[in-house]
Structure 1
């Protein structure tokens, strides 16, 4: 297949390549070159991308599909995740990174999901936490987390799990010294064990001190915008940005998590989502009628969540200016009707925070792929990479809303095959 006469935004963050031609053979990109009108591939398939913009398929870098599914009756669990992956693909999201859930569900999904109809799934399986730590405090399901009481036990558990997962997730949240929080020593030992097994280590944090400890332990990414300390926030953020940039640690702020939890049952927030195209009137009514709408979320009070949201929004440009490698992930879909829409909202929030459009694309493509280092899924349009891409009708560098507007997608390409136009998520 050849995609001709298209502007390529390859996900690397470099300037667009105008009037380009992209070759695809099997599941891989083969070349990006100037358009040659007479070029005909072996299979004869040519897509005229004239007036369009080709970007890598988007990545959701922080969700919990196998966690959502674990609360369902067993016969519904795997079908739920497969449907969600199909919804992601319909939204232009070709790769999904699940940061904590049932390993049995994850493995069954990988076996049963049709790659032509679903987004690619990478997963952490159960997360590591302290004794009765988060998320066991709220959910109590041992399939979601493994408790660690001492460093050597943690090392052994990481080694056992690493064979079955794509990366390892640690919860480093709580009061220092409390049994529900991993000790610094345990975090160091367990991150080291993950790296020895060839796996990336992703660390959920709450405070600036948690981030400092995670970076010192060798974390590859810190998950979530932190709670501000109450001191000079911008100076504090500058120091944090320098730490992350200098260490090469990725940062996944999940702003949409804190936005949802901070607003709780605020119907004015539903109106904002309506204006921004995330909800329509019918979806807004459905969300407002949910039994849990407006109820406090375990472990994350609304006031604290709003503080993290505002801090994350204010400081995102500081992170970018310092060279921090930012990653797009959504975590939860509570007020937002579905996980794919939560990711698209995260991209909207990046734009509202002032992140340049080219960087927004990088957060949901190249940085997302680098963060977990999966072979061939580079998050870029480049020779040898898996051919996942979106053909957009509008320039996402001039109008970032093109990334979240389904009407602007001319085509979705998954593993070198063009999916039917008009896929929509419910």
Structure 2
């Protein structure tokens, strides 16, 4: 999890040398050595990600990558050394958190290309759409752990990453526990399991196996995120003390008992509605293939393959694709019911595998959540503050002093409709402005 950034030893040493040499006041020399110039974002309406009422005409002061102060302009002093960004008439929200994605393996429409460069490329793509933190739940390799370990810095300029390592599998407790121990040794943040038979085509992890996995993971201090499909398995996983359900129940309507159990156990639910969309949407050319917001990052070669008639036929003739199309409707109905019952929802998409487009699909997910009955404020909180809490992340998700300055500046009010989260003026990670899709789409074509 995120930790507070200590003052670098080299800075402390420099301050000590200056103090010993005299000439300058020790206190002022120390302050100059430890304080970087500030950024002050002034005039925006701040929606802080906690569910609190928006704060109009606010000031947010950022220093050393973190939020130093935030509040109404009348209450917050702008430091004399601050670079001032006039954001009057705009809205400032926390960077979005994808509580279920995948990073590093896909190149074009192929998997199996995990590398450091690909991890960084994917994190840059997420960031360009305002997704400033990604919880990667499966397929992670040591290069991803290394990238994660480098992110606790004020110079960060791409999305943050948390990892689960390989998805834990096994037909016996012993085989599965060997994977748990291996993942823990690699330094993962989560353990991910799959309790699903892929519409009856594969063997499902049994309760004795996933029970052993959850028990061992908890001994190691690691939370367990579970992929599922069936209502019965949701109850079984709660019996085993699972920490996070990271797909929708899709086989039938959820019951009141499940909602009550999720609330009582404080177990979050990540619907990943766009996962379902990706299984069938390419049976014809999707509308979003002409959306400039999508095209700003789309690879023409990938679109060409998905537009091919033979590709569309494969999707149309796939029995599983048609079954998942039905499952999407059930998933949306269940999301609405669980949200209304007070279950904590965390935005997640399962993006990262081929044709599940990182960044764009997160915004598609927000629209599907709205169709499911969630309000714009509920969706924003599920994609920021609650997503951070559900994943156990510190220092991100809300605009408050001490947190990293991972921010999106918008030209429209997202509480008037989640589609306004696409109105990105700029994206900031640790107070550093990064290239956004809005910047890409405004560049002249070469």
TM-score bracket relative to the smaller structure: 0.7 to 0.9
Q: Deviations over 1:299-321 (max 9, x none)?
A: 98113211220011222221111
Cα distance, 1:410 vs. partner?
Answer: 1.9
Total equivalences in the alignment: 396
Counterpart mapping for 1:7-406 below 5 A: 7-36=45-74, 39-41=77-79, 43-68=81-106, 77-110=115-148, 116-129=156-169, 148-163=170-185, 164-174=187-197, 180-229=203-252, 233=253, 236-267=254-285, 270-271=286-287, 274=290, 278=294, 287-289=306-308, 292-293=311-312, 295=314, 301-332=320-351, 338-377=357-396, 379-403=397-421, 405=422
Deviations 1:111-142 (A, max 9, x none): 7889633211111110112xxxxxxxxxxxxx
Indicate the structure (1 or 2) with the bigger Cα radius of gyration. 2
Report the secondary structure of 2:350's partner residue: coil
Q: Offset at 1:61?
A: 1.9
Contact 1:208 1:227 in 2 (8 A): yes
Cα gap change, 1:38 to 1:66, in 2 (>3 Å): closer
Q: For the residues of structure 1 that align with 2:342 and 2:224, how far apart are their CA atoms?
A: 20
Native 8 Å contact 2:268 2:346 kept in 1: yes
Which residue number in structure 2 is paired with residue 141 of structure 1? none
Residues 335, 310 of structure 1: alpha-carbon distance in 2 compared, 3 angstrom cutoff: farther
Quote the offset at 1:414 in angstroms: 0.6
Q: Is the 8 A contact 2:46 2:58 kept in 1?
A: yes
Contact map agreement 2:157 2:433 (CA 8 A) in 1: no
**Residue 272 of structure 1: how far off its partner (Å):** 6.4
Unaligned runs of 5+ in 2: 1-38
- Give the drift of 1:29: 1.2
Bigger Cα displacement from structure 2, 167-176 vs 94-103: 167-176
Give secondary structure in 2 for the equivalent of 1:368. Answer: helix
**For the residues of structure 2 that align with 1:395 and 1:409, how far apart are their CA atoms?**
11
Distance 1:291 1:108 in 2: 40
Provide Cα deviations, 1:81-126, integer angstroms capped at 9, x if missing partner: 2211111111111111111114134235447889633211111110
Q: How has the CA–CA distance of structure 1 residues 176 and 387 changed in structure 2, closer, same or farther, with 3 Å as cutoff?
A: same
**Residue ranges of structure 1 left out of the alignment (5+ in a row):** 130-147
When structure 1 is superposed on structure 2, of 38-47 and 245-254 the one drifting more is 38-47
**Residue aligned with 2:380, SS:** helix
* Residue 290 to residue 9, structure 1, CA distance change in 2 (3 Å): farther
Aligned mates of 1:14, 1:328 — CA distance in 2: 19
Counterpart residue number, 2:8:
none
Q: Which residue of 2 aligns with 1:144?
A: none
CA contact (8 A) 1:262 1:305 kept: yes
Structure 1 residue 176, shift from structure 2 partner? 13
Distance 2:383 2:377 in 1: 10
Summarize the Cα distance change of 1:402–1:300 in structure 2 as closer, same or farther, 3 Å threshold.
farther
CA distance in structure 2 between the partners assigned to 1:335 and 1:90 by the alignment: 19
Preserved contact between residue 261 and residue 300 of structure 1 (Cα < 8 Å): no
Helix, strand or coil at the partner of 1:320: helix
Distance 1:395 1:94 in 2: 19
Contact 2:65 2:430 in 1 (8 A): yes
Does the residue aligned with 1:228 lie in a helix, a strand or coil? coil
Displacement after TM superposition at 1:35 (Å): 0.2
Note the C-alpha offset of 1:275: 7.0
Please give the TM-score of this superposition, normalised by the length of structure 2.
0.79
